[in-house]
Amino acid sequence: MRWQAMGTGRPRQNGSLVHFIGKYQARRATGVGFRPQALRRRRQRPGTGAVTSRGAIWAGTMCLAPAPRHGRLHSTVLAWAPFGRLFEHLVGLRHAELKMSGDACPSGSRTLAFGRPQQERNPSIMMPRNSAVLGLLVVLCGLFFGATARSSPTEEAADKARAVSSLIQAEMAARGIPGAQVAIVQNQNIIFTGAFGLATLEGAVPVTPQTVFPINSISKALAGVAVMQLVEAGKLDLDAPLKTYLESLPSAWGAVTVRHALTHMSGLPEIVDDNLRAIDGAAPELAWQKVQSRPLDAPPGTRFGYTQTNYVVIGKVIETLTKRSYADFVRERQFMAAGLTRTHFSIDGEPDAASLYSFLALQIQGMKTVGVERSKVPLLRHEPMTAYLDAAGGVKSTATDLAKWVIALQRTKLVSANSLDQLWKPQAQKDGTIRGFNALVNGYGLGWPSARRDAHPALTPVGGARAAVFIYPRDELTVLVLTNLMGASPERFIDNIASIYIPDLVPTGR
């Protein structure tokens, strides 16, 4: 096998140029022995920028590639430093010692191949008579190029991006998901975004990076941040009773604290049915009055019981303390502070919003589902989301905007690191047990669900069985998936995506 060194870029100065990668680098990069060839030179026409008979010092990239039998080069890109002048003085080769040779290169490439003198016939001798100097050059090249002859970071990132896209498309096909967005954050930088499928089946409207998706209960994580902002301002105490801030609450709720509501351990009865409609079909204010007349489901602090009522109350507490609407407070303190441009509340309306679908038609009596019919095709779904549910599930966003929000949290632009720790810490019931939704999402903090496990624990805000955000703090990785299908449950395959970037992560979702 013959090897050539290809330099590409703009000539900076005149002078002799030697592009040489020796046995050490070739073997390190490829595991194949290296037999250099003689130096090929080209004449420069005035003003053309081609290599002169004296050579040129090049800036740009350098390629090392085997010359296949048919005489064409395929290259592996290596970084090339401006060491030309140093090499020129080190080598000092005489032109008479060099033989012009080498295979043809791709059209437009500039190639210099370096090898043994013409008069040298001993195949065991691989360098010209300045072998000591060239030996030093080989070592310098090897140290400089290092492992870069292997897959470059850019190539590796592209491979991972392709793997993510393939995985997402496979999951969409398997689950019947019409459309999705994905974003991945690593080391507080967005490294991947993708838009897949259709935002609206009717009319075949594609998902774009600007398409807005409902994030449903992921909104509760934003509510938790809003609460901690008020805690940091000295306006709110997590362990104070709700009645401290909402004096009109019934006496039966007197022992319920802000923390109880944030962690779903309040025992408060549910204010909506399984279709997110207010109880008994009442208007929001009437539903609020009715829910206060109902008994607690459990003594405060004794049982994890997920209800929307908890965050309806949290929203009202925030409005009381800030003397403004919950939506206005969050827009200013989070959307604007984090630079979110495509994030809104459902009540705002959004022309680029994705339509919602489900394969299930629910039959509801009272507040509970009593029957389910499964369709063979996705059914258009309407979810009434009025302002009183803003804190519980009223936010719409894009994967990219939510990624920016996560980065703002990690950079402590929204709350302090101590507050973030409190938000993320799973809370225990009075008996010391920690509960969550299921075996995967098995903990709950202050608006933040979590996957508690020994290896690669994660914060796992999920919403509407259609959106999920997994933050892996130990791994500096975040994966966000938004879809427009109720029942897509992306939390079940987000670990699979993360494992592309965390090789030893064993997914636990099913």
Same-domain status, 128 and 170: no
CB of 265 within 8 A of CB of 443?
no
Total domains present in the chain: 2
Q: Do the domain assignments include residue 196?
A: yes
∠ Cα 68 140 119 (to 5°) = 55
**Residue 251 pLDDT:** 96
- Where residue 313 falls among pLDDT bands split at 50, 70, 90? very high
Q: What is the percentage of the chain residues whose pLDDT exceeds 90?
A: 59
pLDDT at residue 123, rounded to an integer: 39
State the Cα–Cα distance between residues 107 and 288, nearest whole angstrom. Answer: 75
**Do 111 and 251 belong together in one domain?**
no
Whether residues 108 and 187 share a domain: the answer is no
For the chain, give the mean pLDDT. 78
Residue 324 has a CB neighbour count (10 Å cut-off) of 12
Ranges of H-type helices in 117-152:
131-145
Tens of pLDDT, residues 163-181: 999 999 999 999 999 999 9
Write the CA distances from 33 to 1, 20, 21, 127, 323, integer angstroms: 8, 14, 12, 14, 75
In-domain check, residue 31: yes
pLDDT of residue 48: 40
**Which is nearest to 462 in space by CA: 263, 193, 261, 215?**
215
Name the one residue in this structure whose structure tokens are 């991947």: 192
3-class state of residue 427 by DSSP: coil
Beta bridge partners of 395: 345
Q: Both 41 and 180 in a single domain?
A: no
Say yes or no: 40 and 118 in one domain. Answer: yes
**Residue found by looking up tokens 């009109």 in the block:** 248
- Does residue 463 sit within a domain? yes
CA distance 1 to 374: 63
Q: How many CA atoms lie within 13 A of 342 on its CB side?
A: 20
Based on the fold, state whether residues 137 and 173 are members of the same structural domain.
no
Look at 139-143, 309-313, 325-329, 426-430 and tell me which has the smallest mean pLDDT: 139-143
Q: How confident is the model at residue 142 (pLDDT cuts 50, 70, 90)?
A: low
End residue of a domain, out of 116, 145, 174: 145
Quick one: pLDDT at residue 150?
Answer: 56
**Distance (Å, whole) CA 157 – CA 161:** 6
DSSP designation for 500: T
Residue 505 domain-assigned (yes or no): no
- Which residues lie closer than 8 Å to 159 by C-beta, 6 or more apart? 151
Domain-ending residue, one of 111, 145, 179: 145
285 occurs within a structural domain: yes
Contact at 8 Å (CB) between 401 and 342? yes
Residue 401 CA to residue 391 CA, distance in Å, equals: 18
**Which structure tokens are listed for 342?**
């495509």
SS3 content of the chain, % helix, strand, coil (to 5): 30, 25, 45
172 and 124 in one domain? Answer: no
Beta bridge partners of 95: none
Question: Is there a single domain that holds both residue 398 and residue 427?
Answer: yes
Residues 128 and 215 in one domain: no
Residue 310: count other Cβ atoms within 10 Å of its Cβ: 28
Q: Given a cut of 70, is residue 270 above it in pLDDT?
A: yes
**DSSP for 280-313, written as a single string:** GG--HHHHHHHHHTSPPSS-TTS-----THHHHH
The β-bridge partners of 380 are 357
Sheet containing 368-381: order of strands: 368-381, 356-365, 485-486
- Structural domain of residue 110, as residue ranges? 2-145
Buried b (16+ CB within 10 A) or exposed e, 61-79: ebbbbbbeeeeebebbbbe
Which amino acid is residue 430, in one-letter code? K
pTM across the whole model: 0.71
Q: Which alpha helices (H) appear in 150-240, and where do they start and end?
A: 153-175, 219-232
Pair (201, 299) in one structural domain: yes
How far CA 122 is from CA of 40, 130, 316, 467, in Å, comes to 21, 16, 89, 69
Q: Are 14 and 52 in contact (CB under 8 A)?
A: yes
Name which of 28-37, 358-367, 421-430 the model is least confident about. Answer: 28-37
Whether residues 396 and 305 fall in one domain: yes
At residue 305, φ and ψ (nearest 5 deg) are: -140, 105
Q: Which residue, chain included where needed, has tokens 């019934």?
A: 250
Whether 417 is covered by a domain: the verdict is yes
Residue 257 DSSP code: B
Tell me the average pLDDT across 103-128.
37
Structure token digits, residue 323: 């003397």
Specify the pLDDT at position 373. Answer: 82
**Across 30-34, 253-257, 412-416, 463-467, least confident range:** 30-34
Assigned domain for 253 exists? yes
Q: Is 401 helix (H, G, I), strand (E, B) or coil?
A: helix
Is the confidence at residue 510, as pLDDT, over 60?
no
> How does residue 59 score in pLDDT terms, banded at 50, 70 and 90?
very low
| DSSP code for 1 | -
Separation CA 502–CA 500 (nearest Å): 6
Question: Does residue 251 share a domain with residue 132?
Answer: no
Distance (Å, rounded) from C-alpha 73 to C-alpha 115? 17
- DSSP states of 175-187: HT--EEEEEEEET
Interval 319-362: pLDDT, tens: 999 999 999 999 999 999 999 999 999 867 777 899 999 998 77
Alpha carbon of residue 33 to chain centroid? 41
* CATH (domain of 274): 3.40.710.10
Any domain includes 507: no
Report, as an integer, the average pLDDT of 124-149: 48
Given 145, 178, 213, the domain boundary residue is 145
CB 269 within 8 Å of CB 295:
yes
Can you give the pLDDT at residue 350? Answer: 75
Count helices and strands in the chain by DSSP H and E runs: 13, 19
